[in-house]
Protein backbone atom coordinates (compact mmCIF):
# COMPACT_ATOMS: atom_id res chain seq x y z
CA UNK A 1 0.00 0.00 0.00
CA UNK A 2 1.41 3.32 -1.03
CA UNK A 3 1.24 5.84 1.77
CA UNK A 4 -1.09 8.75 1.16
CA UNK A 5 -3.85 6.67 -0.38
CA UNK A 6 -7.36 7.11 0.92
CA UNK A 7 -9.75 4.18 1.23
CA UNK A 8 -13.45 3.67 1.51
CA UNK A 9 -13.93 1.77 4.74
CA UNK A 10 -17.71 1.70 4.95
CA UNK A 11 -20.39 2.75 2.48
CA UNK A 12 -24.13 2.37 2.08
CA UNK A 13 -27.17 3.76 0.35
CA UNK A 14 -30.82 3.75 1.40
CA UNK A 15 -33.50 2.37 -0.83
CA UNK A 16 -34.23 5.06 -3.43
CA UNK A 17 -37.90 5.87 -3.93
CA UNK A 18 -40.63 7.40 -1.80
CA UNK A 19 -39.96 7.86 1.91
CA UNK A 20 -43.00 9.87 3.07
CA UNK A 21 -42.46 9.01 6.74
CA UNK A 22 -38.80 10.00 6.94
CA UNK A 23 -37.38 13.52 6.63
CA UNK A 24 -34.06 14.37 4.93
CA UNK A 25 -32.15 14.29 8.19
CA UNK A 26 -33.64 10.89 8.99
CA UNK A 27 -32.64 9.47 5.62
CA UNK A 28 -29.15 10.92 6.00
CA UNK A 29 -28.93 9.39 9.49
CA UNK A 30 -29.94 6.00 8.12
CA UNK A 31 -27.22 6.16 5.48
CA UNK A 32 -24.58 7.57 7.85
CA UNK A 33 -25.22 4.96 10.54
CA UNK A 34 -25.22 2.30 7.84
CA UNK A 35 -21.85 3.42 6.53
CA UNK A 36 -20.34 3.53 10.04
CA UNK A 37 -21.64 0.02 10.76
CA UNK A 38 -20.41 -1.22 7.39
CA UNK A 39 -16.95 0.13 8.23
CA UNK A 40 -17.00 -1.23 11.78
CA UNK A 41 -16.41 2.20 13.34
CA UNK A 42 -18.39 4.82 15.29
CA UNK A 43 -18.83 8.59 15.28
CA UNK A 44 -16.04 8.66 17.90
CA UNK A 45 -13.60 7.66 15.11
CA UNK A 46 -14.76 10.30 12.64
CA UNK A 47 -12.69 13.49 12.37
CA UNK A 48 -14.67 15.41 9.76
CA UNK A 49 -18.20 15.36 8.36
CA UNK A 50 -19.04 16.56 4.83
CA UNK A 51 -22.79 16.80 4.29
CA UNK A 52 -24.30 17.27 0.85
CA UNK A 53 -27.84 18.50 0.29
CA UNK A 54 -29.41 20.95 -2.15
CA UNK A 55 -33.03 21.40 -1.14
CA UNK A 56 -32.80 21.49 2.65
CA UNK A 57 -31.51 24.92 3.66
CA UNK A 58 -27.77 24.42 4.04
CA UNK A 59 -27.27 23.06 7.57
CA UNK A 60 -27.76 19.33 7.06
CA UNK A 61 -24.44 18.44 8.70
CA UNK A 62 -25.22 19.93 12.09
CA UNK A 63 -28.80 18.63 11.98
CA UNK A 64 -27.42 15.20 11.22
CA UNK A 65 -24.99 15.35 14.16
CA UNK A 66 -27.96 15.83 16.51
CA UNK A 67 -29.27 12.46 15.29
CA UNK A 68 -26.09 10.40 15.03
CA UNK A 69 -23.56 11.97 17.39
CA UNK A 70 -22.36 15.45 18.34
CA UNK A 71 -18.63 15.15 18.83
CA UNK A 72 -17.58 18.72 17.98
CA UNK A 73 -15.78 17.81 14.74
CA UNK A 74 -15.67 20.23 11.79
CA UNK A 75 -18.67 20.04 9.48
CA UNK A 76 -18.70 21.14 5.86
CA UNK A 77 -22.13 21.67 4.34
CA UNK A 78 -21.63 21.08 0.65
CA UNK A 79 -23.69 22.14 -2.38
CA UNK A 80 -22.49 21.66 -5.96
CA UNK A 81 -25.56 20.91 -8.08
CA UNK A 82 -25.78 17.24 -9.14
CA UNK A 83 -22.10 16.82 -8.24
CA UNK A 84 -22.87 17.54 -4.57
CA UNK A 85 -22.41 13.96 -3.33
CA UNK A 86 -19.10 13.53 -5.14
CA UNK A 87 -17.98 16.91 -3.78
CA UNK A 88 -18.85 15.87 -0.22
CA UNK A 89 -16.89 12.65 -0.67
CA UNK A 90 -13.93 14.55 -2.09
CA UNK A 91 -14.07 17.05 0.80
CA UNK A 92 -13.58 14.18 3.26
CA UNK A 93 -10.84 12.70 1.07
CA UNK A 94 -9.02 16.04 0.94
CA UNK A 95 -9.13 16.44 4.72
CA UNK A 96 -7.38 13.08 5.00
CA UNK A 97 -4.86 13.92 2.27
CA UNK A 98 -4.15 17.19 4.06
CA UNK A 99 -3.24 15.17 7.13
CA UNK A 100 -5.86 16.85 9.32
CA UNK A 101 -7.77 13.69 10.15
CA UNK A 102 -7.43 9.97 9.55
CA UNK A 103 -11.11 9.21 9.11
CA UNK A 104 -14.01 11.16 7.64
CA UNK A 105 -17.70 10.73 6.87
CA UNK A 106 -19.42 11.98 3.71
CA UNK A 107 -23.20 12.00 3.36
CA UNK A 108 -25.58 13.04 0.60
CA UNK A 109 -29.35 13.19 0.86
CA UNK A 110 -32.32 14.59 -1.05
CA UNK A 111 -36.07 14.40 -0.85
CA UNK A 112 -37.48 14.93 -4.33
CA UNK A 113 -40.57 12.72 -4.65
CA UNK A 114 -43.17 14.60 -6.63
CA UNK A 115 -40.78 17.44 -7.47
CA UNK A 116 -41.79 17.36 -11.13
CA UNK A 117 -39.55 18.80 -13.81
CA UNK A 118 -36.48 20.48 -12.45
CA UNK A 119 -35.45 23.76 -13.97
CA UNK A 120 -38.90 24.87 -15.06
CA UNK A 121 -39.30 28.45 -13.91
CA UNK A 122 -42.26 30.75 -14.37
CA UNK A 123 -41.96 34.14 -16.05
CA UNK A 124 -40.82 37.14 -14.08
CA UNK A 125 -43.71 39.03 -12.55
CA UNK A 126 -44.82 41.51 -15.15
CA UNK A 127 -45.27 45.07 -14.04
CA UNK A 128 -47.55 47.62 -15.62
CA UNK A 129 -44.98 48.64 -18.21
CA UNK A 130 -42.05 46.73 -19.70
CA UNK A 131 -38.86 47.24 -17.69
CA UNK A 132 -35.63 45.67 -18.92
CA UNK A 133 -33.76 43.98 -16.12
CA UNK A 134 -30.86 41.64 -15.50
CA UNK A 135 -27.75 40.99 -17.51
CA UNK A 136 -29.68 40.47 -20.75
CA UNK A 137 -31.97 43.45 -20.30
CA UNK A 138 -34.97 41.12 -20.46
CA UNK A 139 -38.48 42.50 -20.11
CA UNK A 140 -39.98 39.14 -19.11
CA UNK A 141 -38.91 35.61 -18.25
CA UNK A 142 -37.00 34.07 -21.13
CA UNK A 143 -37.65 30.39 -20.36
CA UNK A 144 -39.64 29.07 -23.30
CA UNK A 145 -39.30 32.33 -25.25
CA UNK A 146 -35.58 32.08 -25.88
CA UNK A 147 -34.85 28.36 -25.84
CA UNK A 148 -35.66 26.43 -22.66
CA UNK A 149 -34.35 26.36 -19.10
CA UNK A 150 -35.75 22.92 -18.38
CA UNK A 151 -33.30 20.11 -17.80
CA UNK A 152 -34.85 17.47 -20.09
CA UNK A 153 -34.80 20.02 -22.92
CA UNK A 154 -31.27 21.19 -22.20
CA UNK A 155 -29.90 17.66 -22.14
CA UNK A 156 -31.97 16.72 -25.19
CA UNK A 157 -30.09 19.42 -27.10
CA UNK A 158 -26.78 18.13 -25.74
CA UNK A 159 -27.54 14.68 -27.19
CA UNK A 160 -28.77 16.13 -30.49
CA UNK A 161 -25.67 18.31 -30.74
CA UNK A 162 -23.58 15.13 -30.53
CA UNK A 163 -25.68 13.74 -33.36
CA UNK A 164 -25.13 16.85 -35.46
CA UNK A 165 -21.39 16.60 -34.90
CA UNK A 166 -20.92 12.87 -35.45
CA UNK A 167 -24.16 11.51 -36.94
CA UNK A 168 -26.04 8.34 -36.12
CA UNK A 169 -28.36 9.45 -33.34
CA UNK A 170 -32.10 8.81 -33.42
CA UNK A 171 -35.06 8.79 -31.06
CA UNK A 172 -34.86 4.99 -31.06
CA UNK A 173 -31.16 4.92 -30.22
CA UNK A 174 -31.73 7.06 -27.13
CA UNK A 175 -34.70 4.87 -26.17
CA UNK A 176 -32.47 1.79 -26.42
CA UNK A 177 -30.01 3.34 -23.96
CA UNK A 178 -32.92 3.81 -21.57
CA UNK A 179 -34.14 0.26 -22.18
CA UNK A 180 -30.71 -1.01 -21.08
CA UNK A 181 -30.78 0.91 -17.81
CA UNK A 182 -34.36 -0.06 -16.98
CA UNK A 183 -33.42 -3.69 -17.68
CA UNK A 184 -30.35 -3.37 -15.41
CA UNK A 185 -32.48 -2.02 -12.57
CA UNK A 186 -34.53 -5.23 -12.39
CA UNK A 187 -31.53 -6.71 -10.53
CA UNK A 188 -31.19 -3.81 -8.07
CA UNK A 189 -33.52 -4.04 -5.07
CA UNK A 190 -32.56 -0.52 -3.94
CA UNK A 191 -33.59 1.12 -7.24
CA UNK A 192 -36.65 3.39 -7.29
CA UNK A 193 -37.99 1.53 -10.35
CA UNK A 194 -37.19 -2.10 -11.00
CA UNK A 195 -39.34 -2.81 -14.06
CA UNK A 196 -37.97 -3.65 -17.47
CA UNK A 197 -39.42 -1.50 -20.27
CA UNK A 198 -39.41 -2.28 -23.99
CA UNK A 199 -38.14 0.23 -26.53
CA UNK A 200 -41.73 0.63 -27.76
CA UNK A 201 -42.99 1.34 -24.24
CA UNK A 202 -40.26 3.90 -23.72
CA UNK A 203 -40.88 5.63 -27.08
CA UNK A 204 -44.64 5.68 -26.60
CA UNK A 205 -44.49 7.06 -23.06
CA UNK A 206 -45.15 10.74 -22.33
CA UNK A 207 -42.87 12.97 -24.38
CA UNK A 208 -41.13 15.48 -22.09
CA UNK A 209 -38.62 17.12 -24.41
CA UNK A 210 -37.93 15.32 -27.70
CA UNK A 211 -36.18 12.94 -27.84
CA UNK A 212 -36.47 12.37 -24.07
CA UNK A 213 -39.70 10.69 -22.96
CA UNK A 214 -40.52 10.28 -19.26
CA UNK A 215 -38.66 6.98 -18.66
CA UNK A 216 -35.62 8.50 -20.38
CA UNK A 217 -35.44 11.21 -17.68
CA UNK A 218 -33.84 10.72 -14.27
CA UNK A 219 -36.39 9.67 -11.71
CA UNK A 220 -36.99 12.25 -8.97
CA UNK A 221 -37.06 10.35 -5.68
CA UNK A 222 -35.92 10.35 -2.08
CA UNK A 223 -32.71 8.75 -0.94
CA UNK A 224 -29.42 9.05 0.87
CA UNK A 225 -25.95 7.55 0.67
CA UNK A 226 -22.92 7.81 2.93
CA UNK A 227 -19.30 6.75 3.00
CA UNK A 228 -16.60 6.48 5.66
CA UNK A 229 -13.14 7.20 4.29
CA UNK A 230 -9.90 6.35 6.01
CA UNK A 231 -6.18 7.02 5.58
CA UNK A 232 -3.73 4.34 4.54
CA UNK A 233 -1.94 4.59 7.90
CA UNK A 234 -5.10 4.21 9.92
CA UNK A 235 -6.38 1.33 7.79
CA UNK A 236 -3.22 -0.63 8.59
CA UNK A 237 -4.23 -0.60 12.28
CA UNK A 238 -7.69 -2.05 11.58
CA UNK A 239 -8.84 -5.66 11.42
CA UNK A 240 -8.21 -8.11 8.58
CA UNK A 241 -11.88 -8.06 7.67
CA UNK A 242 -11.97 -4.26 7.51
CA UNK A 243 -8.88 -4.20 5.33
CA UNK A 244 -10.19 -6.87 2.98
CA UNK A 245 -13.43 -5.00 2.35
CA UNK A 246 -11.78 -1.59 2.03
CA UNK A 247 -11.85 -0.09 -1.45
CA UNK A 248 -8.99 2.07 -2.61
CA UNK A 249 -9.81 5.50 -4.02
CA UNK A 250 -7.35 5.56 -6.91
CA UNK A 251 -8.52 8.96 -8.12
CA UNK A 252 -10.77 11.70 -6.80
CA UNK A 253 -11.22 14.56 -9.26
CA UNK A 254 -13.42 17.61 -9.48
CA UNK A 255 -13.54 19.98 -12.46
CA UNK A 256 -15.61 22.89 -13.73
CA UNK A 257 -16.33 23.96 -17.29
CA UNK A 258 -13.56 25.98 -18.90
CA UNK A 259 -14.50 28.76 -21.32
CA UNK A 260 -15.27 27.62 -24.85
CA UNK A 261 -17.17 29.21 -27.71
CA UNK A 262 -20.87 28.56 -27.16
CA UNK A 263 -20.61 27.38 -23.54
CA UNK A 264 -22.85 30.25 -22.48
CA UNK A 265 -25.38 29.27 -25.15
CA UNK A 266 -25.71 25.53 -24.45
CA UNK A 267 -23.95 24.23 -21.33
CA UNK A 268 -20.93 22.23 -22.41
CA UNK A 269 -20.97 19.07 -20.30
CA UNK A 270 -18.34 17.45 -22.48
CA UNK A 271 -15.05 19.20 -21.90
CA UNK A 272 -15.16 19.25 -18.10
CA UNK A 273 -16.05 15.55 -18.08
CA UNK A 274 -13.23 14.74 -20.50
CA UNK A 275 -10.85 16.83 -18.38
CA UNK A 276 -11.95 15.07 -15.20
CA UNK A 277 -11.61 11.65 -16.85
CA UNK A 278 -8.11 12.44 -18.18
CA UNK A 279 -6.94 13.63 -14.77
CA UNK A 280 -8.55 10.62 -13.07
CA UNK A 281 -6.95 8.07 -15.41
CA UNK A 282 -3.59 9.76 -14.92
CA UNK A 283 -3.93 9.91 -11.13
CA UNK A 284 -5.08 6.28 -10.98
CA UNK A 285 -2.57 4.96 -13.47
CA UNK A 286 -5.31 3.10 -15.33
CA UNK A 287 -6.99 3.56 -18.69
CA UNK A 288 -10.61 3.24 -19.79
CA UNK A 289 -9.83 -0.29 -21.06
CA UNK A 290 -9.03 -1.34 -17.46
CA UNK A 291 -12.50 -0.48 -16.16
CA UNK A 292 -14.69 -3.44 -15.20
CA UNK A 293 -17.73 -1.22 -14.74
CA UNK A 294 -18.78 2.42 -14.97
CA UNK A 295 -21.55 4.35 -13.24
CA UNK A 296 -22.01 7.54 -15.26
CA UNK A 297 -24.40 10.46 -14.95
CA UNK A 298 -27.32 9.42 -17.16
CA UNK A 299 -29.61 12.21 -15.94
CA UNK A 300 -31.22 11.73 -19.36
CA UNK A 301 -30.78 9.06 -22.02
CA UNK A 302 -29.31 11.77 -24.26
CA UNK A 303 -26.64 12.49 -21.63
CA UNK A 304 -25.49 8.88 -21.31
CA UNK A 305 -24.50 8.77 -24.98
CA UNK A 306 -22.18 11.79 -24.84
CA UNK A 307 -20.47 10.56 -21.67
CA UNK A 308 -19.38 7.28 -23.32
CA UNK A 309 -17.26 9.56 -25.43
CA UNK A 310 -16.33 12.07 -22.71
CA UNK A 311 -15.10 9.32 -20.39
CA UNK A 312 -13.17 7.89 -23.37
CA UNK A 313 -14.91 4.52 -23.17
CA UNK A 314 -14.84 4.73 -26.98
CA UNK A 315 -12.89 6.60 -29.64
CA UNK A 316 -13.92 10.22 -30.13
CA UNK A 317 -17.13 10.37 -32.15
CA UNK A 318 -17.85 6.65 -31.75
CA UNK A 319 -20.38 6.65 -28.91
CA UNK A 320 -23.21 5.39 -31.13
CA UNK A 321 -21.16 2.43 -32.37
CA UNK A 322 -19.92 1.76 -28.85
CA UNK A 323 -23.48 1.49 -27.56
CA UNK A 324 -24.83 -0.38 -30.59
CA UNK A 325 -22.11 -3.03 -30.20
CA UNK A 326 -23.57 -3.94 -26.80
CA UNK A 327 -20.42 -2.81 -24.95
CA UNK A 328 -22.38 -0.87 -22.34
CA UNK A 329 -24.73 -3.72 -21.43
CA UNK A 330 -23.98 -5.63 -18.25
CA UNK A 331 -22.73 -8.50 -20.40
CA UNK A 332 -20.61 -6.17 -22.54
CA UNK A 333 -16.96 -5.16 -22.41
CA UNK A 334 -17.57 -2.00 -20.33
CA UNK A 335 -20.83 -2.40 -18.40
CA UNK A 336 -22.37 1.03 -17.83
CA UNK A 337 -24.94 1.78 -15.14
CA UNK A 338 -25.60 -1.77 -14.00
CA UNK A 339 -27.41 -0.18 -11.03
CA UNK A 340 -30.12 1.03 -13.41
CA UNK A 341 -28.64 4.49 -13.57
CA UNK A 342 -30.39 7.72 -12.75
CA UNK A 343 -33.19 6.85 -15.16
CA UNK A 344 -34.29 3.81 -13.18
CA UNK A 345 -32.39 3.63 -9.90
CA UNK A 346 -33.36 7.26 -9.37
CA UNK A 347 -31.66 10.59 -8.78
CA UNK A 348 -31.99 12.10 -5.29
CA UNK A 349 -29.52 14.78 -6.35
CA UNK A 350 -27.02 15.08 -3.49
CA UNK A 351 -27.12 11.33 -2.79
CA UNK A 352 -26.24 10.37 -6.36
CA UNK A 353 -22.51 11.09 -6.22
CA UNK A 354 -22.05 8.73 -3.27
CA UNK A 355 -24.62 6.14 -4.34
CA UNK A 356 -22.78 5.53 -7.61
CA UNK A 357 -19.53 5.02 -5.66
CA UNK A 358 -21.44 2.55 -3.45
CA UNK A 359 -22.53 0.65 -6.55
CA UNK A 360 -18.93 0.32 -7.72
CA UNK A 361 -17.71 -0.72 -4.23
CA UNK A 362 -20.49 -3.29 -4.01
CA UNK A 363 -19.11 -5.04 -7.12
CA UNK A 364 -15.44 -4.65 -6.16
CA UNK A 365 -16.22 -6.27 -2.82
CA UNK A 366 -18.06 -9.07 -4.61
CA UNK A 367 -21.24 -8.30 -2.69
CA UNK A 368 -23.55 -7.29 -5.54
CA UNK A 369 -25.57 -10.51 -5.57
CA UNK A 370 -27.60 -11.12 -8.74
CA UNK A 371 -26.14 -8.18 -10.56
CA UNK A 372 -22.50 -8.85 -9.62
CA UNK A 373 -20.05 -8.12 -12.42
CA UNK A 374 -17.81 -11.13 -11.97
CA UNK A 375 -14.21 -10.46 -11.04
CA UNK A 376 -14.62 -6.67 -10.98
CA UNK A 377 -11.39 -5.03 -9.85
CA UNK A 378 -11.56 -1.42 -11.07
CA UNK A 379 -14.55 0.87 -11.57
CA UNK A 380 -15.32 4.51 -12.31
CA UNK A 381 -18.08 6.71 -10.91
CA UNK A 382 -19.01 9.96 -12.67
CA UNK A 383 -21.43 12.76 -11.88
CA UNK A 384 -22.05 16.11 -13.43
CA UNK A 385 -23.99 19.08 -12.15
CA UNK A 386 -25.06 21.76 -14.59
CA UNK A 387 -23.45 25.07 -14.08
CA UNK A 388 -21.14 23.07 -14.20
CA UNK A 389 -19.22 20.70 -11.91
CA UNK A 390 -17.96 17.22 -12.67
CA UNK A 391 -16.78 14.62 -10.17
CA UNK A 392 -14.95 11.43 -11.15
CA UNK A 393 -13.79 8.72 -8.75
CA UNK A 394 -11.82 5.65 -9.77
CA UNK A 395 -11.99 2.80 -7.29
CA UNK A 396 -9.96 -0.35 -6.95
CA UNK A 397 -10.53 -3.59 -5.09
CA UNK A 398 -8.19 -4.20 -2.18
CA UNK A 399 -5.37 -6.62 -2.95
CA UNK A 400 -6.25 -10.04 -1.54
CA UNK B 1 -39.81 53.33 -40.10
CA UNK B 2 -40.61 56.60 -38.26
CA UNK B 3 -39.22 57.60 -34.86
CA UNK B 4 -42.72 57.44 -33.41
CA UNK B 5 -42.97 53.76 -34.36
CA UNK B 6 -39.64 52.98 -32.74
CA UNK B 7 -40.66 54.64 -29.49
CA UNK B 8 -43.62 52.31 -29.13
CA UNK B 9 -41.62 49.12 -29.44
CA UNK B 10 -39.25 47.42 -27.01
CA UNK B 11 -37.16 44.30 -27.65
CA UNK B 12 -37.56 41.23 -25.44
CA UNK B 13 -33.85 41.44 -24.61
CA UNK B 14 -31.36 44.26 -25.01
CA UNK B 15 -29.28 42.21 -27.45
CA UNK B 16 -32.11 42.25 -30.00
CA UNK B 17 -31.76 45.37 -32.18
CA UNK B 18 -34.90 46.29 -34.13
CA UNK B 19 -33.33 48.87 -36.46
CA UNK B 20 -32.64 49.14 -39.34
CA UNK B 21 -33.57 45.47 -39.76
CA UNK B 22 -33.93 43.15 -36.76
CA UNK B 23 -30.65 41.52 -35.74
CA UNK B 24 -28.82 40.33 -32.66
CA UNK B 25 -25.93 42.25 -31.16
CA UNK B 26 -23.21 40.59 -29.12
CA UNK B 27 -20.74 42.04 -26.63
CA UNK B 28 -17.41 41.08 -28.12
CA UNK B 29 -14.25 41.02 -26.04
CA UNK B 30 -11.82 43.47 -27.67
CA UNK B 31 -8.93 41.34 -26.50
CA UNK B 32 -9.84 37.77 -27.54
CA UNK B 33 -13.04 38.10 -29.57
CA UNK B 34 -15.24 36.00 -27.26
CA UNK B 35 -18.90 36.93 -27.76
CA UNK B 36 -21.54 37.26 -25.05
CA UNK B 37 -25.22 38.15 -25.17
CA UNK B 38 -25.30 39.11 -21.51
CA UNK B 39 -23.33 41.80 -19.70
CA UNK B 40 -20.06 40.49 -18.30
CA UNK B 41 -17.90 42.10 -15.66
CA UNK B 42 -14.88 40.63 -17.39
CA UNK B 43 -14.26 38.13 -20.17
CA UNK B 44 -14.59 34.50 -19.02
CA UNK B 45 -12.02 33.51 -21.61
CA UNK B 46 -9.19 36.04 -21.20
CA UNK B 47 -10.23 38.07 -18.10
CA UNK B 48 -9.96 41.45 -19.84
CA UNK B 49 -12.90 43.79 -19.36
CA UNK B 50 -13.36 45.77 -22.58
CA UNK B 51 -16.20 44.89 -24.90
CA UNK B 52 -17.50 46.25 -28.15
CA UNK B 53 -20.95 45.77 -29.68
CA UNK B 54 -20.97 43.65 -32.85
CA UNK B 55 -23.80 42.62 -35.16
CA UNK B 56 -24.46 38.89 -35.45
CA UNK B 57 -25.38 37.25 -38.75
CA UNK B 58 -29.14 36.81 -39.12
CA UNK B 59 -28.91 33.51 -40.96
CA UNK B 60 -27.64 30.28 -39.55
CA UNK B 61 -27.80 26.54 -39.19
CA UNK B 62 -29.51 24.45 -36.50
CA UNK B 63 -26.86 22.48 -34.59
CA UNK B 64 -29.12 21.14 -31.82
CA UNK B 65 -32.79 21.18 -30.98
CA UNK B 66 -35.43 19.77 -28.71
CA UNK B 67 -39.21 19.87 -28.83
CA UNK B 68 -40.42 20.85 -25.38
CA UNK B 69 -43.84 19.50 -24.41
CA UNK B 70 -44.39 21.57 -21.27
CA UNK B 71 -43.97 25.32 -21.30
CA UNK B 72 -44.02 27.95 -18.56
CA UNK B 73 -47.24 30.00 -18.25
CA UNK B 74 -47.75 32.31 -21.21
CA UNK B 75 -45.74 30.18 -23.63
CA UNK B 76 -47.42 27.88 -26.11
CA UNK B 77 -46.39 24.22 -26.07
CA UNK B 78 -45.02 22.24 -27.71
CA UNK B 79 -42.28 24.58 -28.89
CA UNK B 80 -38.92 24.03 -30.54
CA UNK B 81 -35.83 25.19 -28.66
CA UNK B 82 -32.69 25.24 -30.72
CA UNK B 83 -29.08 26.26 -30.96
CA UNK B 84 -28.38 28.14 -34.17
CA UNK B 85 -24.87 28.67 -35.47
CA UNK B 86 -24.92 32.13 -37.04
CA UNK B 87 -21.69 32.27 -39.04
CA UNK B 88 -19.63 31.03 -36.11
CA UNK B 89 -21.61 32.66 -33.32
CA UNK B 90 -23.89 30.18 -31.53
CA UNK B 91 -27.28 31.59 -30.52
CA UNK B 92 -30.05 30.30 -28.21
CA UNK B 93 -33.53 30.69 -29.60
CA UNK B 94 -36.82 29.06 -30.49
CA UNK B 95 -37.62 27.89 -33.99
CA UNK B 96 -40.83 29.50 -35.27
CA UNK B 97 -43.06 29.21 -38.34
CA UNK B 98 -42.47 25.48 -38.34
CA UNK B 99 -44.56 22.54 -37.18
CA UNK B 100 -43.00 21.35 -33.89
CA UNK B 101 -42.56 17.73 -34.97
CA UNK B 102 -39.39 15.67 -35.43
CA UNK B 103 -40.10 15.08 -39.11
CA UNK B 104 -40.24 18.83 -39.82
CA UNK B 105 -37.36 20.00 -37.64
CA UNK B 106 -33.97 18.65 -38.64
CA UNK B 107 -30.35 19.03 -37.57
CA UNK B 108 -28.43 21.18 -40.02
CA UNK B 109 -31.49 23.00 -41.37
CA UNK B 110 -30.95 26.58 -42.54
CA UNK B 111 -32.86 29.26 -40.67
CA UNK B 112 -33.13 33.05 -40.49
CA UNK B 113 -33.95 35.51 -37.72
CA UNK B 114 -37.54 36.75 -37.53
CA UNK B 115 -39.38 38.86 -34.97
CA UNK B 116 -42.90 38.80 -33.61
CA UNK B 117 -45.09 40.73 -31.20
CA UNK B 118 -45.40 39.32 -27.68
CA UNK B 119 -47.78 41.80 -26.10
CA UNK B 120 -48.39 45.46 -25.36
CA UNK B 121 -48.08 47.17 -21.98
CA UNK B 122 -50.37 49.85 -20.44
CA UNK B 123 -48.34 52.62 -22.08
CA UNK B 124 -48.99 51.09 -25.48
CA UNK B 125 -45.44 49.82 -25.93
CA UNK B 126 -45.26 46.65 -27.97
CA UNK B 127 -42.79 43.96 -26.88
CA UNK B 128 -40.92 42.30 -29.74
CA UNK B 129 -39.52 38.80 -29.44
CA UNK B 130 -37.38 36.84 -31.87
CA UNK B 131 -36.97 33.36 -33.23
CA UNK B 132 -35.56 31.58 -36.24
CA UNK B 133 -37.74 30.46 -39.16
CA UNK B 134 -36.84 28.09 -42.00
CA UNK B 135 -34.74 30.06 -44.51
ZN1 LIG C 1 -11.59 37.91 -23.88
Return d(Cα B24, Cα B87) in angstroms, integer.
13
Residue of A nearest to B15 (CA): A136
Return d(Cα B107, Cα B97) in angstroms, integer.
16
pLDDT in tens, A343-377: 999 999 999 999 999 999 999 999 999 999 999 99
Judged by CB atoms closer than 8 Å, whether chains meet at B92 and A120 is answered as no
Question: What sign for the dihedral angle of Cα A324, A327, A328, A331?
Answer: positive
The pTM of the full predicted model, rounded to 2 decimals, is: 0.95
3-state helix, strand, coil in chain B (%, to 5): 5, 45, 50
Cβ atoms of residues A192 and A217 within 8 Å:
no
Provide the pairing of β-strand A103-110 with B110-120: unpaired
Q: Do A311 and A326 reside in the same domain of the chain?
A: yes
Going from N- to C-terminal start, the domains of chain B cover 13-56, 57-135
Q: Do A73 and A201 reside in the same domain of the chain?
A: no
Of B12, B68, B102, Cβ closest to residue A153: B68
Provide the pairing of β-strand B59-68 with A207-210: antiparallel
Q: Does residue A126 lie in a domain region?
A: no
The total of other beta-carbon atoms located within 10 Å of residue A302's CB is: 31
Residue of A nearest to B127 (CA): A130
pLDDT in tens, B25-72: 999 999 999 999 999 999 999 999 999 999 999 999 999 999 999 999
Return d(Cα A157, Cα A179) in angstroms, integer.
20
pLDDT reported for residue A4: 82
pLDDT reported for residue A56: 86
Burial of A366 (0-12, 13-18, 19+ CB in 10 A): middle
Total length of chain A? 400
In chain A, residues with a C-beta closer than 8 Å to the C-beta of B108 are: 164
Pick the CATH number of B57-135 from 1.20.1690, 3.30.1490, 2.40.50, 1.10.3470: 2.40.50
pLDDT in tens, A97-154: 999 999 999 999 999 987 665 554 433 445 589 999 999 999 999 999 999 999 999 9
Return d(Cα A210, Cα B106) in angstroms, integer.
12
Q: Do A372 and A336 reside in the same domain of the chain?
A: yes
Judged by CB atoms closer than 8 Å, whether chains meet at B13 and A138 is answered as yes
Of B37, B90, B125, Cβ closest to residue A130: B125
Q: Do A107 and A240 reside in the same domain of the chain?
A: yes
Q: Do A239 and A382 reside in the same domain of the chain?
A: no
Q: Do A232 and A263 reside in the same domain of the chain?
A: no
Domain span at residue A377 reads 151-215+250-397
pLDDT in tens, B66-102: 999 999 998 999 999 999 999 999 999 999 999 999 9
CATH of the domain at A339: 3.40.47.10
- Tell whether A167 lies on the interface with B, counting CB pairs under 8 A: no
Q: Do A92 and A226 reside in the same domain of the chain?
A: yes
Q: Do A167 and A229 reside in the same domain of the chain?
A: no
- Could you report the average pLDDT of every consecutive run of 10 residues in chain A (400 residues)? 81 97 96 98 98 92 97 98 97 97 98 67 59 95 96 98 97 98 98 98 98 96 98 97 97 97 94 98 98 98 98 98 98 98 97 98 97 98 96 92
Cβ atoms of residues A350 and A109 within 8 Å:
yes
Q: Does residue A352 lie in a domain region?
A: yes
Q: What is the predicted ipTM?
A: 0.94
| Nearest chain B CA: its distance from A117 CA (Å) | 9
Judged by CB atoms closer than 8 Å, whether chains meet at B118 and A140 is answered as yes
Question: Is residue B5 scored above 80 in pLDDT?
Answer: no
3-state helix, strand, coil in chain A (%, to 5): 40, 20, 45
Amino acid sequence: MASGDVWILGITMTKFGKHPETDSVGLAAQAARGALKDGGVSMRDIGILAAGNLMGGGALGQQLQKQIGQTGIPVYNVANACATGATALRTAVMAIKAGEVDMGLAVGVEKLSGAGLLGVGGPKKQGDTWEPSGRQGAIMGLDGRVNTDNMPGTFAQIGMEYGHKYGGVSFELFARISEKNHMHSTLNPLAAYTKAMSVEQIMNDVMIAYPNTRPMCSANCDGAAAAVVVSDEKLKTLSDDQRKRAVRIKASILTTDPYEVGCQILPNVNTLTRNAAKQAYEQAGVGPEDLDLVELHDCFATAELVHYDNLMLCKEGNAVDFFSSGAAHRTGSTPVNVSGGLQSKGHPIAATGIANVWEICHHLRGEAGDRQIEGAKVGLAHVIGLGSACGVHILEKAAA
Amino acid sequence: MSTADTATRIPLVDYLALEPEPHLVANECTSCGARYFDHRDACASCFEAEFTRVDVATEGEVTAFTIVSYAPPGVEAPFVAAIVDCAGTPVRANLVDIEPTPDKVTLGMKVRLVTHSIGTDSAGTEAIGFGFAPA
